[in-house]
Amino acid sequence: MLKGYTDGHWGQVHHRRAGERGPWVVLLHESPRTSAVYRRVLPLLGERVRAVAFDTPGYGGSDGPPDGHRSLDEFAARLLEAARALGIGEFVPVGLKTGSDLGTELALQAGCARAVLSSPEIFDAARAEHRAATWAPPIVPDAHGGHLRALWDKNTGLYGTDSPRDLTEAVGDVLTNLDGYATAYPASLRYDSRAGIEQLVDTGCDVLLLRPEGARMTVTEPVEFADVPGTRVVTVPVPGHVATRMPDEFTARVLEHMGE
């Protein structure tokens, strides 16, 4: 697995990549994580195709928007810019959670023929606006570690409790980006996932939706997934983060959808 940077309008975009031949796959992580969530998947994909996982601007090693929050189409444009800088022409975008919104918009901008979207969520306008304003509040470190417990409990709803390592890494990504972990949330939460996927289907894009079984936004709140006619839906028997929890299954589904 190789790492590198490209230069763009917002600064540098960091990536991890694997594979030397075959079609391209562009992997997009969810906020507030980084491309490291694909570290188990990249070598598997790299045996058959060329795969690159970008850090979304504002996360990991990628510079964020220089003057605050931007719309999702601008985030996607910066990632498409990075892909083109690597010489990537046609590709299949693969997104996880909020990364599935980025994947949808990226596919629309690039005119992709296929896309794999895991856990795209839908919200009505009022709920989306409420989420955008409240889901990722500023984190104030507590001398007694209360902020660590709050982050742990919040991520338990997303990842479950049977993999403490995954939970620890999820919390760690927030702790290493305290001032910027919310950068892309408003753009993603305000994005109309259903309308974007419907538009993709209308363009003739072959869309695979991966639906984790029993996924939750919080401990008590089930995730409401986009259900769009014209897509193919596959349920996978794991809550939350499919690429981390089931890298072999995730890889197999992506390659199958690509016809590889």
Assign 223 a pLDDT band (cuts: 50, 70, 90).
low
Residues 6+ apart with CB under 8 A from 259: none
**What mean pLDDT is predicted for residues 173-194?**
94
64 pLDDT more than 70: yes
- pTM of the shown model: 0.95
Task: Name the average pLDDT for the chain.
Answer: 91
Higher pLDDT, 130 or 83: 83
The angle formed by the CA atoms of residues 138, 9 and 79, to the nearest 5 degrees, is 75
Q: Which positions ≥6 away from 42 have C-beta within 8 Å?
A: 1, 16, 17, 18, 27, 51, 53
Q: Are 63 and 11 in contact (CB under 8 A)?
A: yes
- Alpha carbon distance 27, 38 (integer Å): 8
Please check the confidence at residue 219 and state whether its pLDDT lies above 60.
no
What pLDDT is attached to residue 51? 98
18 - beta bridge partners?
A: 51
Structure confidence at residue 124 (pLDDT) = 80
Rounded Cα distance between 15 and 157, Å, is 28
Please report which confidence band the pLDDT of residue 82 belongs to, taking 50, 70 and 90 as the band edges.
very high
Residue 61 confidence (pLDDT): 97
- What value does the mean pLDDT take over residues 28-38? 96
